[in-house]
Amino acid sequence: MPVIPANVLKERRAIQGLTSLGIGKVRDTFGIPNFPNVLMSRTGKGISALDVVLPALIPDKDCVLNAMTDFWEREVFKGLFYTDRLATGAEIDQYLPEHLRKNPELQKTCRIVNKLNMFRGEFVLRGNLTGSGWTEYKNNGTVCGRRIATGLVDGSELPFTTFSPTTKAEEGHDEAISPEKAIELFGHEPVMRAIEIFEFARWFAHKRGIIIADTKFEFGKNSEGFVTLGDEILTPDSSRFWPIAGWEKAMLAGKTPPSFDKDPVRAFLRQFCKDHGIEKMDPKNPEHVRIIHGMDFPEPIIRTTRQLYRYAFWSMAGMMLETYQDTKMGISVRAPSRHIEVLVGSESDLSQTEVGMASVLGAANVTISVLSCHRNFDRLPEIAQDRLCKADVVIAGAGMAAALPGIIKAQLCALDRSDIPVIGVAFAGPTTKDNQAAILSIECLPGQPVELDENGNAYFGSDGFQDACIAASRNEFLPKTIQAKPVQLGIRHVEALD
Over the stretch 9-56, which tens digit does the pLDDT of each residue have?
888 888 999 999 998 888 999 999 999 999 999 999 999 988 899 999
pLDDT at 367 > cutoff 80? yes
For 315-369, give the DSSP string: HHHSS-HHHHHHHTS-----PPPEEEEEEES-GGGGGGGHHHHHHTTTTEEEEEE
Q: Within 10 A of 326 (CB to CB), how many other CB atoms are there?
A: 17
Give the closest residue to 332 by CA, choosing from 93, 161, 158: 93
451 vs 477: CA distance, rounded Å = 8
Q: Please state the rounded mean pLDDT for residues 122-146.
A: 89
At residue 174, the pLDDT reads 67
What is the bridge-based pairing of β-strands 364-370 and 338-344? parallel
Determine the straight-line distance between the first and last CA of the chain, rounded to whole angstroms: 80
Per-domain residue ranges of the chain: 1-334, 337-474
Instruction: Give dist(CA 398, CA 348) in Å, integer.
Output: 10
* The pLDDT value given to residue 25: 87
Q: How far, in whole angstroms, is CA 462 from its chain's centroid?
A: 32
Q: Which of the listed ranges 255-259, 307-311, 336-340 does the model predict with the highest average pLDDT?
A: 307-311
Average pLDDT, the chain: 92
Q: Is the pLDDT reported for residue 130 higher than 70? A: yes
Q: Is pLDDT at 172 greater than 60 in this prediction?
A: no
Query: In the prediction, which pLDDT does 425 show?
Result: 96
| Other Cβ atoms closer than 10 A to 29 | 17
Contact indicator for 100, 106 with CB cutoff of 8 Å? yes
Which one, of 79, 65, 112, lies nearest residue 317 by Cα?
65
pLDDT at 86: 96
CB 112 within 8 A of CB 86: yes
235 pLDDT above the threshold of 60: yes
Residue 173 has pLDDT above 60, yes or no: no
Query: Which strand (E) or helix (H) includes residue 94?
Result: none
pLDDT at 473: 93
- For the stretch 415-474, pLDDT in tens is 999 999 999 999 999 999 999 999 999 999 998 999 999 999 999 999 999 999 999 999
CATH T-level fold of 337-474: Rossmann fold (3.40.50)
User: 3.30.470.20, 2.60.120.260, 3.90.1010.10, 3.40.50.300: which CATH number matches 1-334?
Assistant: 3.30.470.20
- A 10 A CB-CB count for 365 gives 15
Mean pLDDT of 234-249: 93
Backbone dihedral region of 254: left (phi > 0), alpha (psi from -120 to 50 degrees) or beta? left
Res 171 pLDDT > 80: no
Is the per-residue pLDDT at 319 higher than 60?
Answer: yes
The rounded percent of the chain whose pLDDT value lies above 70 is 98
Identify whether the C-beta of residue 451 lies closer than 8 Å to the C-beta of residue 276. Answer: no
At 227, is the pLDDT very low, low, confident or very high (cuts 50, 70, 90)? Answer: very high
pLDDT digits (tens, 9 = 90+) for 86-118: 999 999 999 999 999 999 999 999 999 999 999
DSSP strand pairing (142-143 vs 146-147): antiparallel
Does 346 have pLDDT greater than 60?
A: yes
Is residue 386 helix, strand or coil? helix
pLDDT of residue 280: 86
The residue among 48, 41, 40 whose CA lies nearest residue 8 is: 48
User: For residue 497, what pLDDT is reported?
Assistant: 82
Q: Tell me phi and psi for residue 124, to 5 degrees.
A: -95, 125
